[in-house]
Homo-oligomer: A and B are copies of this chain.
Amino acid sequence: MQKKRIPNIYDVAKTSGVSISTISRVLNAPDKVNPETRRRVISAIDKLGFIPKAEARAHAMKNTNRIGVLTPYFTAPSFVQRLRGVVAALSKANYELVIYPVDSVEHLQAYTSSIPIMRNIDGLIIMSLAIEEKDALRLHDNSMETVLIEYAHPRLNNISIDDVQGGHLVAKHLIEKGHTRVAFLGDIEPPERYAIHPVKSRLQGFKETLASADISLQKKYIVQASYSQDESRQAAYHLLTLSKPPTAIFAASDIQAASVMKVARQLKIRIPEDMAVIGFDDIDMADHMDITTIRQNLDESGRLAAEILLSRIAEPSRPLQHIRLPLTLIERLTT
């Protein structure tokens, strides 16, 4: 019992007595072939269990039915939720998703310089990454369809939110709740060149609205903390053990809000009675933990990115899209 080879299009041609062109046609343009021959071919296909090799197809057609996502920290909840949206849109369209995790500038550069030329994907979504001008141009010049999330470039599609307005919303809410001694915890000095700085804008908006209500955000109430758990906790600890701790903390992300809450629990500080906490993003966990937060529709941003990409791949002449997604405050139990 010899192992039979995986059949190729020539095998099908042989057993159905037509040329390979016809096989290809019944697969890709069935209406262009006589119903009778089509039947014969199909039965041969079924009999042999023929499935066209994806690589060969991609090679001949110069498209891969695959799109890529370039992302840092791809396992952070907010990124995952974006990815969820991307996947939702892609699987409908029968596109595959390949993930390129980025953890250094070199990494990012390597990707942006090789991807458009290697041509192993049809389109690219770049999440929360600052790309250099020359890389953006390379993508554009080599006509690699791209959509940027949380970053913008005039020649590429992009989807973003108004972080400053996000800061406004938070401040407004806290003011309404009667807080006057508030603090901010977030990653305002990202050291990596490739990362972006939405957090600074959130802080800016926060400050602005506070100022307009004559509330000053003192320096000592602004603490730097990277996305990492350790740093967030230390920063939270610092804030919560000040001689005159704030009555409300705006954490620049829900994850960090959760860290604040964890530290508060250790210090027996009740939330929201003793201290209010508000996050940003509205990741799934925020609901689980009843964290008041600013919702940016993460799933939607991913879905939209994918849809824009697919539509431009299908029809490259369509205009560029620069989309700004709305933000809403979701009040739960921590403020």
Contact = CB atoms under 8 A, between A and B. Distances in A.
B117 A6 contact: yes
Contacts of A58: 55, 58-59, 120
A44 to B, nearest CB: 15
A29 interface: no
Interface of A: 3, 6, 49, 51-56, 58-59, 62, 64, 66, 74-75, 77, 80-81, 83-84, 87, 91, 96-101, 114, 117-120, 141-142, 229, 255, 258-259, 262, 265, 285, 287-290, 333
A48 to B, nearest CB: 10
A120 B55 contact: yes
Contacts of A333: 265
A-B pairs with lowest CB-CB distance, top 10:
A54-B120, A51-B117, A75-B84, A54-B118, A59-B59, A55-B58, A98-B98, A258-B288, A55-B59, A97-B99
A70 B46 CA distance: 25
A286 to B, nearest CB: 11
A84 B75 CA distance: 6
Contacts of A290: 262, 265
Contacts of A52: 118
A184 to B, nearest CB: 20
B83 A75 contact: yes
Centre residue among A52, A265, A288, A290 by max chain B CB count within 10 A:
A288
Given A55-B119, A75-B81, A91 B98 contact: no
Contact of A142 (B6, B64, B97): B6
Contact of A87 (B101, B259, B265): B101
A83 to B, nearest CB: 7
Given A55-B119, A58-B55, A97-B98, A289 B287 contact: no
